[in-house]
Amino acid sequence: MKNYEELSAAELKAELEEMAAKEQALKRALEARREQEKYELANEIKTMIKERGHDIEEVTDLVFGRKRRSGASGGSNASYARYADPKNPNNTYLRGRLPNWLVEKMSANGYDPNSAEQRAQFKEEHLVRITG
């Protein structure tokens, strides 16, 4: 362990900056780990629900207290695919206006969010299709 009392002001400042950089790196690593663990947990839960022969939407409706719509289709959006960000399963997209997280993720990966063809390609290559 260093004896900080023997260091100059410049050396102490450098130590402090190094510690701050390490703190930021640890915070980023922690956030990335937490996101990965959430994704893994979501997959485990989905697997458990499917293995027990239940519909994911029906179970989540029970968990969150939502009421099912009448009819077997589950509503007007039943024929549309739902996609999720594999790094953050809370980020989902069904249809309509692209959410900000999706526009940012597409742009960061070199895709044009205004191109229907590139949107379709991005969804297939970078998102997880959620099945009901």
pLDDT of residue 86: 87
Residue 18 has pLDDT above 80, yes or no: yes
Q: With a threshold of 0.85, does the pTM exceed it?
A: no
Model confidence at 75, in pLDDT bands (50, 70, 90)?
low
For 82-85, the CB contacts below 8 A with 24+ separation are 82/129, 82/130, 82/132, 83/123, 83/127, 83/128, 83/129, 83/130, 84/127, 84/128, 84/130, 85/127, 85/128
pLDDT confidence tier of residue 69, bands split at 50, 70 and 90: low
Summarize pLDDT for 79-131 with one digit per residue, the tens: 778 888 888 888 888 888 889 999 999 999 999 999 989 998 998 888 988 87
pLDDT tens string 35-49? 999 999 999 999 999
